[in-house]
A and B are shown apart, each in its own frame.
Chain A
C-alpha cells in the first residue's frame, strides 16, 4: 500500500484551473478535487458534483417530518386526549398544518446540514491535502487541482506529465 495521497497541480488563475479540471475529467479522471480562494463559476459542473443522494434524503426526511407533525397532532387531539377547543371538531386538520409544515422544514433542514457534513467526510482532524507545499495560498491567490492516488487511471509519471501539460506551474506528489 503506497503512502501517496495524490498529485496536486498548482495553477495561477481560475481559468487555467477550470480548463484543467475539464481536461482531467475528459481524460477519464474521477477521484479529483479542486481548491480555490473563491467560488469559480462553472467549476462544480465541470467536476461533476451532483450527488443524487442528498436531495432524496432531504425529501424523504421532509415527508417523514410532515407525517410526524400531522400524526402527533391528530393522535393527541383526536384520540389520546380529545379536548373541545372553540367548539371545533376534535380532528380539526386545518389547525394541524402549521406544525406539520414547521416539522417538514425542521427535518429537511437538519437532514440537509448533517448529510452535507457526513457525505463530505466531516468533521475530521486532518486532511492529506494540507501536506501540499504552499497550500495555505489556496485561501488567497492560488488554485489547486488534486488527482487522488485511488483513481483508477492514476499513474505517478503519466499523471504528472498530464498535469504539467495543462499549464500547472508546479506539480507535487503529496503524502498521506
Chain B
C-alpha cells in the first residue's frame, strides 16, 4: 500500500518542513541553554509536554472515533492514528528528563538538600524518586503501545478484507478494545501529568489536573486535524474535498465548541476551588501566574482559549465554511501552545526565586522556543512518515457506508 500512493502536497510539505524546524530548534536551544543545564531541562520538559499532549489527544480521539464510528471521524482518523504513533518517539525523548532527575535537576524532589529540609517532600519520596518515575513513564508508554499496535493491526485487516461481515466483526472488536483503552488512558495520563508537571512544584496539587490536561490535549489534536483536513479540502484534494461536507464541518465545530466549554469548565473549577480554599500551597499556582508578564498571558488565555472560540463556534455560518472553521482552529491550536507553557514555565520560578535580568529572560525565551521547535520538528517529520503507512481515509464502519450510499 505504501508505494505508488500519491499523498497530498500539504502532508509532503509538513514532512519536509519538520527537519528544518528541528535544525532551527537545535540552534536556538544551543544559544538559549548556554545559560546553564537547568535552563536546558526547563526548556526540554516544556517542549516535550506540548507534543506529548498532541499525541495524547490524537490517541484519545482515535479511541473515541473507533467507539462512535461516525461520519465525521473518517477524514480525520488517520491523522489521529499517525499522531498517536509518535508515542515511541516521545518515550525516547523523555530520557533527558530522567537524566535531569538522576542528576538532581528539574524536579524539587530530585534535590537531596531540598528533600532533607522539607517534611512534605520527604513523605512523598516513596512515590517521587528517579527509579519509580522511570518505571511509571515506561509502563504508561508500553500500555499505550499495546493498545495502539493491536488496534492498528486490526485496522489493516478491516481496510483490506473483502468480506463485509468480517470487516464488521473487526470494527466491533476494535470498538470493544477502544473503550477500556480510553479508561486506561485517562488513568495513565492522570498519573503521568502528576509526575511530569505537577511535581515540578514542591507542594502544589490539583486533583482535576489530569482531566484538564486531557481536554486540552483533545483540543490540540482536534484542531490539528481540522486545520490539516479543511486546508486539504480547500486545496481541492480528494477524497477530502468530497468528504468535508457542511454536515462534517458542523460536527467538528460542535465538537470543538463542546471541548472549549469543558476546558473552561475544568479550568474555572480548579480556579474556584483554589480561590475559595485560599490555602498557601494551593494559591501559589495562581499567584505565580498573575505576576508580571504572566498576568498578561493569563488574560490572553482566558480570551483566546475560551471567550473568542466560544463566540465564534456558536455561529452555524462559521461551522459551515471550512476556511472559517480552519481559522478558528488555528486560534485554538496556537493558544494551546501558550497555555501548556503557561502551565509549565512558571513552575520553575516558584521555588527558587524568580530569575531576573533581561539577558537571562531572553536566553530563557530562546531556549523554550528552541526545545519546542526541535521536538516539534521531529514529531512532525515522524507524523508524516506514520501517516504514509496507511490509506488516506479508512472505512471505520462498513454499515455507515451502506447507510450513506443509501441516502444519496
Interface residues of A (CB under 8 A from B): 14-15, 18, 40-42, 45, 50, 55, 59, 86, 94-95, 97-98
Whole-angstrom CA separation of A95 from B271 in the bound complex: 10
Q: Is B408 in contact with chain A by the CB < 8 A criterion?
A: yes
Whole-angstrom CA separation of A42 from B404 in the bound complex: 10
CB-CB contacts below 8 Å: B363-408 with A: 403-404, 406-408
B314 and A59 contacting across the interface, CB-CB below 8 Å:
yes
Contacts of A40 in B (CB 8 A): 407
Interface residues of B (CB under 8 A from A): 246, 268, 271-272, 275-276, 278, 314, 316, 403-404, 406-408
Whole-angstrom CA separation of A59 from B403 in the bound complex: 34
Whole-angstrom CA separation of A97 from B403 in the bound complex: 44
Contacts of A55 in B (CB 8 A): 314, 316
Query: B261 — nearest CB in chain A belongs to which residue?
Result: A101
Contacts of A42 in B (CB 8 A): 407-408
- Assuming the contacts A55-B316, A86-B278, asked whether A98 and B272 have C-beta atoms less than 8 A apart, the reply is yes
Instruction: Give chain B's interface secondary structure class.
Output: helix
- Assuming the contacts A55-B316, A94-B271, A97-B268, asked whether A41 and B407 have C-beta atoms less than 8 A apart, the reply is yes
B403 and A94 contacting across the interface, CB-CB below 8 Å:
no
Contacts of B278 in A (CB 8 A): 86
User: Which of B246, B272, B404 contacts A94 (CB under 8 A)?
Assistant: B272
New A-B contacts (18) at CB < 8 Å, excluding given A50-B316, A55-B316, A86-B276:
A14-B406, A14-B407, A15-B406, A18-B407, A40-B407, A41-B403, A41-B404, A41-B407, A42-B408, A55-B314, A59-B314, A86-B278, A94-B271, A94-B275, A94-B276, A95-B272, A95-B276, A98-B272
Contacts of B275 in A (CB 8 A): 94
Contacts of A18 in B (CB 8 A): 407
Whole-angstrom CA separation of A95 from B272 in the bound complex: 7
User: Which of B272, B316, B406 contacts A97 (CB under 8 A)?
Assistant: B272
Query: A43 — nearest CB in chain B belongs to which residue?
Result: B407
Whole-angstrom CA separation of A40 from B407 in the bound complex: 8
Query: A15 — nearest CB in chain B belongs to which residue?
Result: B406
Whole-angstrom CA separation of A14 from B408 in the bound complex: 10
Contacts of A94 in B (CB 8 A): 271-272, 275-276
Whole-angstrom CA separation of A15 from B406 in the bound complex: 8
Contacts of A97 in B (CB 8 A): 268, 272
Query: A41 — nearest CB in chain B belongs to which residue?
Result: B407
Whole-angstrom CA separation of A55 from B314 in the bound complex: 9
Whole-angstrom CA separation of A97 from B269 in the bound complex: 10
Closest 8 CB pairs of A and B: A41-B407, A94-B275, A94-B272, A42-B407, A97-B268, A55-B316, A97-B272, A59-B314
Question: Whole-angstrom distance from the CB of B206 to the nearest CB of chain A?
Answer: 16
Whole-angstrom CA separation of A59 from B314 in the bound complex: 9
Question: Whole-angstrom distance from the CB of A30 to the nearest CB of chain B?
Answer: 21
Contacts of A45 in B (CB 8 A): 246
Question: Whole-angstrom distance from the CB of A53 to the nearest CB of chain B?
Answer: 13
Interface centre among A15, A94, A95 (most CB of B within 10 A): A94
Query: B272 — nearest CB in chain A belongs to which residue?
Result: A94
Question: Whole-angstrom distance from the CB of A13 to the nearest CB of chain B?
Answer: 10
Whole-angstrom CA separation of A56 from B44 in the bound complex: 47
Whole-angstrom CA separation of A95 from B268 in the bound complex: 10
Whole-angstrom CA separation of A14 from B406 in the bound complex: 9
Whole-angstrom CA separation of A59 from B313 in the bound complex: 12
Contacts of A41 in B (CB 8 A): 403-404, 407
Question: Whole-angstrom distance from the CB of B316 to the nearest CB of chain A?
Answer: 7
Whole-angstrom CA separation of A86 from B277 in the bound complex: 9
Contacts of A15 in B (CB 8 A): 406
Whole-angstrom CA separation of A139 from B12 in the bound complex: 52
Query: B268 — nearest CB in chain A belongs to which residue?
Result: A97
Enumerate 21 A-B pairs (CB-CB under 8 Å) in ascending A order: A14-B406, A14-B407, A15-B406, A18-B407, A40-B407, A41-B403, A41-B404, A41-B407, A42-B407, A42-B408, A45-B246, A50-B316, A55-B314, A55-B316, A86-B278, A94-B271, A94-B272, A94-B276, A95-B276, A97-B272, A98-B272
Contacts of B314 in A (CB 8 A): 55, 59
Whole-angstrom CA separation of A42 from B407 in the bound complex: 8
Interface centre among A41, A50, A59, A95 (most CB of B within 10 A): A41
Contacts of A86 in B (CB 8 A): 276, 278
Question: Whole-angstrom distance from the CB of B341 to the nearest CB of chain A?
Answer: 24
Question: Whole-angstrom distance from the CB of B249 to the nearest CB of chain A?
Answer: 13
Question: Whole-angstrom distance from the CB of B266 to the nearest CB of chain A?
Answer: 13
Query: B408 — nearest CB in chain A belongs to which residue?
Result: A42
Contacts of B403 in A (CB 8 A): 41
Contacts of B407 in A (CB 8 A): 14, 18, 40-42
Whole-angstrom CA separation of A18 from B314 in the bound complex: 29
Whole-angstrom CA separation of A45 from B275 in the bound complex: 48
Question: Whole-angstrom distance from the CB of A40 to the nearest CB of chain B?
Answer: 7
Whole-angstrom CA separation of A50 from B408 in the bound complex: 21
Whole-angstrom CA separation of A41 from B408 in the bound complex: 9
Contacts of B268 in A (CB 8 A): 97
Question: Whole-angstrom distance from the CB of B405 to the nearest CB of chain A?
Answer: 11
Question: Whole-angstrom distance from the CB of B184 to the nearest CB of chain A?
Answer: 32
Whole-angstrom CA separation of A15 from B314 in the bound complex: 32
Contacts of B404 in A (CB 8 A): 41
Whole-angstrom CA separation of A97 from B278 in the bound complex: 17
Query: A42 — nearest CB in chain B belongs to which residue?
Result: B407
Question: Whole-angstrom distance from the CB of B303 to the nearest CB of chain A?
Answer: 16
